[in-house]
Amino acid sequence: MKTSLFIKILLLNLIFSLNIFSNIPDLTIIMVIDQFAYNYIEKLNENFNYAFKDLLKNGITCRNAHHPHGTPATATGHTALNTGAFARDHGIINNAWITPEYQKVKSDQDDSQNSLVFGPENKLQNYGKSAKNTMCSGLTYEFTKKYPDYKTYSISLKSRASIGMSGASGNPIWFDDKTGIFTTSKAFFNEIPEWVQDFNANYNLDNIIKNYKWELFYKLHNKYLYTINSKTKYYNFDYIDFHKKTHYKYVQDNKTLISNKYLKDYFKKNIYEYPEYSEFIKTPLANKVLLDLSKTCIEKNFDNTKPIKPMLLWISLSPLDYLGHTYGPDSIEAIDMIYHLDHQIKEFTNFINKKIGEKNILFILTADHGIQPLVKISKKRGYDAHVIKANELKAEINNKIKTKYNINNIVYEIKSCQLYLNVKELNKIPVDTKNSLFKNIKKIIRSKPGVSKVYTDQELLNGNFKFSSVENFYKNQIYLKRSGHIIIIPNKYSTVAEEKYGTGHRTGSKFNTHVPLIIYQPGVFEHKKFKNRVWIPQLPATVAKILNLPKPKNCEFEPIF
């Protein structure tokens, strides 16, 4: 009896240790470039010489991949990449929202004692972060459930991106721009993992930042600049006049970050008595730091001894987003950052290929959302482009409604394209008055240049729209008690924003929903082009299939192949 049981256990151990059940890639990397609109690929395709060139040439490329959301924000997009669910089901409708009790809640906010964020020396901060607002599990959960011995991490500058990808069961690491360290929270770890603590201690980030000056990529690597016919093809576009410096008239920040000053000039102490990291996070250096941390993560956690324990690593590169909001997608800053990324990612893949072998790595590249051109630039090009000014609109509606219905401050706040109404007042009035009130508010909004359509949340929820229609994108994003009561759909070139605004991704236009999607594992997943429309939530279903996992529970989408 005893012997047979012993043999059984031995056999079971052998089976598991040989990893017979899981013929999956040794390393799966899902790399998300924050705000990497597909538009950049169309624009710069000919100019790529490194990772993007390789991936576009060799990988399975989806040329028509979209997020199915009306305001595809960072938290919403990263959570969709993990869960494969609509925002209406995963609940992360935006980076932040307003509750019916008028509380502003960030997507990853959780101030309970069990979720406090670690500061230097693991000292607990007075604010917390977790995935408690995410209403469903995702790919990371299925991975940790099926393979409890295998490692997974997610890395980003932003907590909402890192936690979006990890969900509650993964291991998110992010950059705390108050204290300048990579950190996490008690919701995920008892202390900052040792390899991250070592990275913080040894990388010497503050010194590197102080001595950093952003140089144009093709000035640094000038063999291309001077050997290809048109020596300025990398920075010369007929629709960009940045060489004349007039571009800065239109952007949020009227100084360039390139070849201008050393970052130390921006590196003053902030209100927290730590240096100010607000310019650093907008530079190619910040992408390098994230990729260096990712390399360290692999070095310290990936065990090359057989049998291999496969690893799932999420990397979200945030700087392009910080930069794009300020300077817009047609700026030399955004374009040069992408040239740097082309090279930096190649350098990163060279490193992992050498360590793990490229045939054993599944590499995925995508984005959480795109970016629309600066409204002022679209206007200059002759398009019907307007900034629908949120505060002005709020004041006008509140004044007119006060006069007509004697209700004070009916609009509590306009956030992205959503109007949060004063719920207390709304609950007091009879249904007939309410209907007339909504009608009037919609009429005021519709009269504004740049507005395409206006809906109430109920109209969207009860409407039957074509799956790929912009109305449906907004409908997919409604989660009652987090969403606004009235939703503005601007035209393609317009947006709802505050007065001082660069640009963003607050509408369901192609600029904002259309992103790159490339899947590549040499000899396994390669050399295919999908021209038809693909939905980004199909990606976790696809990766689940490749990794022999069940599809995430709230994913209604089928694998791409």
Stretch that binds Zn ion, among 28-36, 171-179, 185-193, 225-233 (CB under 5 A): 28-36
Asked if 362 and 519 count as a contact pair (C-beta separation under 8 A), the reply is yes
By the rule CB under 5 A, 368 interacts with Zn ion: yes
Burial class of residue 268, CB neighbours in 10 A (0-12, 13-18, 19+): exposed
HEC states along 235-284? CCCCCCCHHHCHHHHCCCCCCCCECCCCHHHHCCECCCCCECCCCHHHCH
* CA–CA–CA angle 349, 355, 361 (5° rounding): 55
**Both tokens assigned to 243:** 């060489």
Stretch that binds Zn ion, among 24-32, 73-81, 179-187, 515-523 (CB under 5 A): 73-81
For the CB of residue 43, give the shortest distance to Zn ion in the complex, in Å: 19
* Cβ neighbours of residue 545 closer than 8 Å, sequence gap 6 or more: 551, 559
What is the distance between the alpha carbons of residues 165 and 482, in angstroms, rounded to a whole number? 21
Looking at beta carbons, which residue is closest to Zn ion? 74
What three-state secondary structure class fits 83?
helix
For the CB of residue 465, give the shortest distance to Zn ion in the complex, in Å: 25
DSSP for 282-322?
Answer: GSHHHHHHHHHHHHHHHHHH---SSSP--EEEEEEE-HHHH
Q: Which is nearer to Zn ion, 157 or 470 (CB)?
A: 157
Query: Binder to Zn ion among 24, 27, 33, 34 (CB under 5 A)?
Result: 34
Which residues in the 305-324 window bind Zn ion by CB under 5 A? 321
For the CB of residue 34, give the shortest distance to Zn ion in the complex, in Å: 4
Phi and psi (nearest 5°) for 497?
-160, 175
Q: Which is nearer to Zn ion, 54 or 368 (CB)?
A: 368
For the CB of residue 161, give the shortest distance to Zn ion in the complex, in Å: 7
Q: Which is nearer to Zn ion, 321 or 333 (CB)?
A: 321
Stretch that binds Zn ion, among 72-80, 162-170, 337-345, 435-443 (CB under 5 A): 72-80
Whether the upstream peptide bond of residue 307 has omega within 30° of 0, thus cis, is yes
For the CB of residue 129, give the shortest distance to Zn ion in the complex, in Å: 17
Q: Which is nearer to Zn ion, 78 or 389 (CB)?
A: 78
By the rule CB under 5 A, 513 interacts with Zn ion: no
Q: Which is nearer to Zn ion, 75 or 478 (CB)?
A: 75
Using CB under 5 A as the binding criterion, the count of chain residues that bind Zn ion stands at 4
Q: Which is nearer to Zn ion, 147 or 175 (CB)?
A: 175
| H or E segment to which residue 473 belongs | helix 470-475
Q: Computed from CA positions of residues 181, 182, 185, 186, in that sequence, does the dihedral angle turn out positive or negative?
A: negative
By the rule CB under 5 A, 108 interacts with Zn ion: no
For the CB of residue 78, give the shortest distance to Zn ion in the complex, in Å: 8
Stretch that binds Zn ion, among 38-46, 69-77, 99-107, 324-332 (CB under 5 A): 69-77
Stretch that binds Zn ion, among 237-245, 361-369, 404-412, 466-474 (CB under 5 A): 361-369
Stretch that binds Zn ion, among 18-26, 80-88, 367-375, 492-500 (CB under 5 A): 367-375
For the CB of residue 95, give the shortest distance to Zn ion in the complex, in Å: 8
Cα 199 versus chain centre, distance: 24
For the CB of residue 35, give the shortest distance to Zn ion in the complex, in Å: 5
Stretch that binds Zn ion, among 27-35, 89-97, 166-174, 343-351 (CB under 5 A): 27-35
Task: Please list, residue by residue across 318-347, b when 16 or more beta carbons sit within 10 angstroms of its beta carbon and e when fewer do.
Answer: bbbbbbbbbbbbbbbbbbbbbbbbbbbbbe
Task: Please list, residue by residue across 63-82, b when 16 or more beta carbons sit within 10 angstroms of its beta carbon and e when fewer do.
Answer: bebbbbbbbbbbbbbbbbbb
For the CB of residue 512, give the shortest distance to Zn ion in the complex, in Å: 10
Q: Which is nearer to Zn ion, 505 or 551 (CB)?
A: 505
Q: Which is nearer to Zn ion, 73 or 216 (CB)?
A: 73
What is the distance between the alpha carbons of residues 35 and 161, in angstroms, rounded to a whole number? 12
Query: Binder to Zn ion among 49, 71, 74, 94 (CB under 5 A)?
Result: 74
Q: Which is nearer to Zn ion, 512 or 538 (CB)?
A: 512
DSSP for 487-550?
Answer: EEEE-TT-EEE-SS------S-SHHHHEEEEEEEBTTTB-SEEE-S-EETTHHHHHHHHHTT-P
Q: Which is nearer to Zn ion, 155 or 216 (CB)?
A: 155
For the CB of residue 164, give the shortest distance to Zn ion in the complex, in Å: 10
What is the distance between the alpha carbons of residues 478 and 465, in angstroms, rounded to a whole number? 14
Q: Which is nearer to Zn ion, 109 or 512 (CB)?
A: 512
For the CB of residue 36, give the shortest distance to Zn ion in the complex, in Å: 9
For the CB of residue 374, give the shortest distance to Zn ion in the complex, in Å: 17
Q: Which is nearer to Zn ion, 282 or 448 (CB)?
A: 282
In order of 82, 128, 156, 182, 234, the CA distances from 194 in angstroms are: 26, 20, 18, 11, 42
Instruction: List residues near Zn ion by CB under 5 A.
Output: 34, 74, 321, 368
